[in-house]
Amino acid sequence: MKNSIINQINTALDAAEVNLAKADNDQEIEAVRIAIVGRKGLFPALSGEMKNVLPEDRKAVGIAFNQGKQRFQKIIDAATERLQQQDDTGETAGIDLSLPGRQWQRGTKHPVSKIIDDCVAIFRRMGFIVAEGPEMESVYNNFDALNTPADHPSRDPGDTFYFADGRLLRTQTSPVQIRVMESQEPPIRIVAPGRCFRRDTPDATHSMNFHQIEGLYIDRQVSLADLKSILQTFAHELFGPQVSIRLRPHFFPFTEPSVEYDFSCIMCKGKGCGVCKQSGWLEIAGAGMVDPQVLHNVGYDPAEWSGFAFGMGIERLAMLRYRINDIRFLYENDVRFLEQF
């Protein structure tokens, strides 16, 4: 029994020394360590055999155990130091440094980010600056200051995400307009791109998480003709000079008069197709002259100042520009889809 245990120790250590001399990485060294001194390794297994060793042989076997552990630790240390030196010199075994390097694929901007950047660039050329605000808003900034009635459907918890402390996830980027107007005097010319949240049922054209870009212009003697000029220029810049716009009467709590604006269909160039439902027009979003009550809410004198506001959905613009027929494609992170942009 004595000679059997000692022979097993010496044989295992000889094999470990050979294997560690060829180890190329830390994982291979760790595998050898576990096989020899791990919880289920050779040394713990042989320790269990000590009870079968004759009393007069136990001293010799114990010495063999101790010497074997010391030898194994030296072998492990030598293998680890060898790998460390290879890492320092860049001469790692198993790697052919003459091979060409890997070609890393370049990422591209998400289509939503591209549209935001393009819209901001267009409005900046027209003298607008970017303003930002928090996505978690107060009821005052999101509804009250914007002249939204207390019984308006948009205030319902079925439409808006509320928190226990009374705050909410903004349903539009219009609260940024309130924050800007309360923090500075006119004139003001801003655009506010950002993420919004509503309790919509997701489908091909709706999402609970979406993006808007809104504009606000406050100055003396601002008219609806100024608004139409800005929107027409924007349409030409984003979709081309062949695009026309039209304004249709509508109602929004924070603008008076209010309009919805359409772009002539970029698919059929206004002739009528399935995308525009044969009308020749595509609905984009809403706009209008800032309601005097909103100006009064932020401390502006409606008799001196006037202005317009407009807003549009970024995903809507992306779907039109890139001919996307389902908004959910923009959020599924399918590389096959995203790499087209």
Decide: pTM greater than 0.95.
Answer: no
Percent composition of the chain: helix, strand, coil (DSSP 3-state, to 5):
45, 20, 40
DSSP assigned state of 316: H
What pLDDT score was predicted for residue 82? 82
- Nearest to residue 257, comparing CAs of 225, 281, 282? 225
Q: Domain locations in the chain?
A: 2-89, 111-338
Q: Which pair of structure tokens corresponds to residue 97?
A: 């440094």
CA atoms within 13 A on the CB side of 57: 13
Q: Which residues pair with 189 in a beta bridge?
A: 217
CB 240 within 8 A of CB 263: no
Residue 78 to residue 86: CA distance in whole angstroms: 12
Residue spans of alpha helices (H) in 98-223: 111-125, 139, 174-183
CB 226 within 8 A of CB 189: no
- Beta strands 188-197 and 281-290 are unpaired
- Which superfamily, per CATH, for 111-338? Bira Bifunctional Protein; Domain 2 (3.30.930.10)
More confident residue, 86 or 146: 146
**Tens-digit pLDDT profile for residues 80-92:** 888 887 766 555 4
Does position 44 have pLDDT exceeding 90, yes or no?
Answer: no
Residue 256 to residue 260: CA distance in whole angstroms: 12
Residue 302 to residue 64: CA distance in whole angstroms: 98
Q: Which residues pair with 129 in a beta bridge?
A: 190
**Tens-digit pLDDT profile for residues 177-220:** 999 999 999 999 999 999 999 998 888 778 889 999 999 999 99
- What DSSP element (H or E) covers 82? helix 58-89
**Tens-digit pLDDT profile for residues 244-271:** 899 999 999 999 999 999 888 887 877 7
Residue 142 to residue 130: CA distance in whole angstroms: 19
